[in-house]
Structure 1
Amino acid sequence: MKTFKYIFILIVGLLSSCQLAEDLDDYEPLNALDANKAIVDESTAELALAGVYAGFHQQSGGGGIPEIYTIPSLMSGTLVNSFLINTDEVQGYVNNNPLAVNTSQGLGAYTRMYDVINRANWLIEKASELTDDKFPTPGRRQEILAETRMLRATANFYLLRLWGQFYDMDSKYGISIRTEPSRSGEALPRSTVRETYEVIMEDLDYAIANAPDIRTKSYTNRAYAMGLKAKVLLYQGNYDEAATLARDVMDASPGEFALADTYGEIFLNHATPELFDSSEIVFGTKGDPVAGVGIGNVIGTIYIVSPQYIASEVGTTEVGGQTIVHDGGRISGTIMEGFFGFDSLKSNFNFEPANNRYEMIYHLRMAEVYLIYAEAEARAQNAVTPDALNALNEIRARAGATTTGGDGFETYPATISLPQFLEAVRIEKRMELGVEIGEDWFDMVRYHFVDGFDVSTVKPSATDPDKYILPIDYITIEAGKNVVEQNPNY
């Protein structure tokens, strides 16, 4: 399979599902330029950067977005499929037994992330060759490189979480790392998990040193680089550093990055671009009325918010004689009816007319940063510290929890044990972030390998740890002449 050396300037230049069936050796995408000729100064580098960002927008027909976010939600049980899509592939995700052949969604998500990486690699190579005098804006060349490297790190992290044994630093099953543009169809063998994390960290460290503080929330920024690094450190088990970095994000630039006053306001203003101005957003992919961003026209149509997930809102935990309810309305309060009466969660995910739809994919919100901090701080200190407890309770209080010390939707008391606290953080993330980017699935997998958490208590069909990650579709393996090794037991 030929790999392109094109920088895609407009989202309409993305390959459609029909184009993917063509002979790719003869195909040259529309609205694209040879990268060797396209990136010659600041303005053309900005256009190329827009093309990298566009890789996280939707493409019809198994194009990878929103599949990269919906697949883990199907596996966790947060989403289920409607009668509109009942393929063997989707049932494999729902039943936690993913297919390894003839996939559309999985293959699309896998190749889309590598498309983002390849776009980023072309831009990094060509912008690095230019001199500073080609960039009239002081420091902009370094900022463009930093933004691009954050996007590459994001794509690599998404690939590792779904197709690599991200929970085992000593595993050989990382992902195929590409740090240079593809100039041929040559496949690269998989790197180890440790090597994969090292490449992600190198990109994030460069971004922390060189990224802009903020342009708008739909562009990557220094706070996002710090927050994503904290998240990656948490996944690696480096809890001390994860807690320190998450705390830095919580304490920095409170005017730009802070918890929204109420949970509902993050999502409910869906009819105007004001949705994109929330202080809650650290980085998100912005949609426009005429350009689908990737989840809004799926939830409530072909995928449905799971009744089991909705019911989990009223689950309880016993702490020091109190019966504490897990949620107070974040799920039920943001459900709206989609097509055919299907449940759609959060108004930014509603399917609305094209002239009245603004959407955003929340790659990172401040609430998640608080919960990263809470977990990392408790694990690092092997105790429920006051700061860790406050971070968790601040999210609950924002959602309406009271502090009366009785039963119901309340903040957790200082008597909570460490195991109870860690489980409370996992549940809180499931309540707070449900149906956003599938984070609840990756938390369950992490907790299984760190704490022995039984994933099947939440998703009864998830009994085989080898099936916690996806298989690489055999089309990819065969096209690469079996250089890429398949995941175990697929």
Structure 2
Amino acid sequence: MKQLRYIVPVLAVAIASCNKELGKLPENAKVDGNTIIDQKTARTGLNGVYYQFASVNSDRQSTTRWGNNAVQPGFYGGQIVYGYGDANEELNQYRNTDDKFWSYSFGIVNAANGVISAVEALNDNAFTDNNKKNILAEARFLRAYGHFKQFSYYGMWWDLNSDKGALLRDKLVVLGNIPKKRSTVAETYKFILDDLDYAIANGPEPTQNVYASKYAAMLLKMRVLMSHGQAADYQQVISLADQIIGSNKYELEAKLIDIFRVKGLSSKEVILGIKPQVNQEAYYYNYSRQFWPGASSMYVASAEFKAMLQNDPRGTWLVGSENPERENSWYFLKYIAEGGSPSQTTETGYAMRLSEVHLLKAEAIARSGGSLTDAKTILKNVMSHAQVTNFTEVDNATTSDEVIKQIYFETVRNLSVEDGMEWMALLRLPFATVQQQKPSITDKVQYIQPIPHDELINNPMFGDQNPGYQR
């Protein structure tokens, strides 16, 4: 994977391509803060942050690289295995030379900071209506997303007293300000939530679902609060869920399969999606070919994931025939049918869907001592949109722990290989249950990964390596 250096300027689209079109690669993707002089160029710069978010690769073929966001958490949680042989990630073994999310996260954060600082310096009269606040809200949402992604995979987010938080950046990084100490866990939560509160208060209404709205910020705040995991957090999660659902901007898809096989970004369930680049489906090493029939990589369903779908109607389309390249693995067909051809729909990524809102609300109700009947009703409603009719296991859950476990199972069946929701839902369970679901996890050290060696070398102020890993 190509390393992203801190001295790289903000990536953005060329000023000539400022029409908020993410479907083609800009001719010139390099814009620094000095090029943002008005509303038009601010939108151009913001579009560059979205390119970082979508992980657009411009080295050879213009494609989005959402695979890390989607596939790696599936490895960690046990839903996905590597189709051509064993991978360390399947065993929750991580190396300090790996960089699955570090550079990606900071690419977003650094680009967002370039836009934020430039836009804040402009006079309000350079913008019409609420556009200045809207642009800042979207940029701060993206910064929060980048910081929370890094925090979730490299910070001890479950320990509110820990000093092992995120490396927070609020300024565009140049040679003179690379050294910086990582923040505490408490400081990290506050910084991220402050960004999200601004994005919720000032974010735009939904227009195109490849751009962040105030409702996307609400859902990201729900994720953050569930990781924070205090009693007051759950009430906020429930309230945020009610606001998103009550807005009537989004609807659960009548048939879950239609999102991935027919509608893609046109589905009213999608809150935030990843639009493929023009002609991405024609590239031989595109995203969907990694699932069927396999290309430079192949990601397939594990035996555990297949077993979880036993007697579930989704088993007929999420899991295909046995993979001949590796025993006890099957084609993972969420995005492309077996024998199908890549298309713009199969290449689409999904960062946020309404199903997650409902499931997090149900989990928050169960964790806060609320009505288990209400939580189970929400859960069964989500399952019914996947054509599930047998709710025996849900009905038999009589304690909050049992209900939360059933919600976790549905999170796996519904949201796996999208944006890491299944992995974080697993880690919110009691440690004994985590071990039961993923026996290769023997210590909470494996919840997170080592800080990349290059970061520790280039940033001497950072602090210690994460516990359990070599510097």
Same fold (TM over 0.5): yes
Q: Is the CA contact 1:117–1:155 (under 8 Å) kept in the aligned structure 2? A: yes
Alignment of 1:333-482 (within 5 A): 333-335=317-319, 343-347=331-335, 358-380=346-368, 382-402=369-389, 408-410=390-392, 412-413=394-395, 416-447=398-429, 451-481=430-460
Q: Percent identity of the aligned residues?
A: 27
Match of 1:328 in 2: 312
Note closer, same or farther for the CA distance 1:36–1:460 as it changes in structure 2 (3 Å cut).
closer
Q: Is the CA contact 1:338–1:351 (under 8 Å) kept in the aligned structure 2? A: no
- Deviation of 1:476 after TM superposition, in Å, equals 1.7
Note closer, same or farther for the CA distance 1:472–1:64 as it changes in structure 2 (3 Å cut).
farther
Does residue 287 of structure 1 match 2:289? no
Q: Is the CA contact 2:55–2:104 (under 8 Å) kept in the aligned structure 1? A: no
Q: Secondary structure at the match of 2:10?
A: strand
Match of 1:163 in 2: 154
Task: For 1:8, give the aligned amino acid.
Answer: L
Q: Secondary structure at the match of 2:332?
A: strand
Q: Secondary structure at the match of 2:252?
A: coil
Q: Is the CA contact 2:33–2:115 (under 8 Å) kept in the aligned structure 1? A: no
Which whole-Å CA distance do the structure 2 matches of 1:356 and 1:429 have between them?
25
Alignment of 1:33-432 (within 5 A): 33-55=30-52, 56-59=54-57, 65-83=66-84, 91-101=87-97, 103=98, 107-135=99-127, 137-184=128-175, 186-237=178-229, 238-252=233-247, 254=248, 256-269=249-262, 274-291=263-280, 295-300=287-292, 301=294, 302=297, 303-314=299-310, 328-335=312-319, 343-347=331-335, 358-380=346-368, 382-402=369-389, 408-410=390-392, 412-413=394-395, 416-432=398-414
Which whole-Å CA distance do the structure 2 matches of 1:4 and 1:384 have between them?
52
Q: Is the CA contact 2:322–2:331 (under 8 Å) kept in the aligned structure 1? A: yes
Q: Is the CA contact 2:65–2:287 (under 8 Å) kept in the aligned structure 1? A: no
Which whole-Å CA distance do the structure 1 matches of 2:42 and 2:111 have between them?
12
Note closer, same or farther for the CA distance 1:348–1:278 as it changes in structure 2 (3 Å cut).
farther
Which whole-Å CA distance do the structure 1 matches of 2:351 and 2:408 have between them?
18
Task: For 1:268, give the aligned amino acid.
Answer: R
Unaligned runs of 5+ in 2: 15-25
Q: Is the CA contact 1:348–1:360 (under 8 Å) kept in the aligned structure 2? A: no
Note closer, same or farther for the CA distance 1:118–1:233 as it changes in structure 2 (3 Å cut).
same
- Deviation of 1:95 after TM superposition, in Å, equals 1.3
Match of 2:22 in 1: none
- Deviation of 1:168 after TM superposition, in Å, equals 1.6
Which whole-Å CA distance do the structure 1 matches of 2:339 and 2:107 have between them?
27
RMSD of aligned C-alpha atoms?
A: 2.9
Q: Is the CA contact 1:444–1:453 (under 8 Å) kept in the aligned structure 2? A: no
Which whole-Å CA distance do the structure 2 matches of 1:229 and 1:37 have between them?
31
- Deviation of 1:92 after TM superposition, in Å, equals 2.2
Which whole-Å CA distance do the structure 2 matches of 1:122 and 1:141 have between them?
15
Which whole-Å CA distance do the structure 1 matches of 2:377 and 2:243 have between them?
16
Aligned residues: 435
Task: For 2:162, give the aligned amino acid.
Answer: S
Task: For 1:155, give the aligned amino acid.
Answer: G
Note closer, same or farther for the CA distance 1:415–1:48 as it changes in structure 2 (3 Å cut).
closer
Q: Secondary structure at the match of 1:8?
A: coil
Structure 1 residues 249-283: Cα deviation after superposition (integer angstroms, max 9, x where no partner):
1222x2x21211111111111xxxx4212111111
Which whole-Å CA distance do the structure 2 matches of 1:120 and 1:358 have between them?
29
Q: Is the CA contact 2:74–2:80 (under 8 Å) kept in the aligned structure 1? A: yes
- Deviation of 1:181 after TM superposition, in Å, equals 0.9
Q: Secondary structure at the match of 1:4?
A: coil
Unaligned runs of 5+ in 1: 12-28, 315-326, 403-407
Note closer, same or farther for the CA distance 1:72–1:108 as it changes in structure 2 (3 Å cut).
closer
- Deviation of 1:431 after TM superposition, in Å, equals 0.9
Note closer, same or farther for the CA distance 1:355–1:258 as it changes in structure 2 (3 Å cut).
closer
Q: Is the CA contact 2:276–2:344 (under 8 Å) kept in the aligned structure 1? A: no
Q: Is the CA contact 2:380–2:391 (under 8 Å) kept in the aligned structure 1? A: no
Which whole-Å CA distance do the structure 2 matches of 1:5 and 1:485 have between them?
26
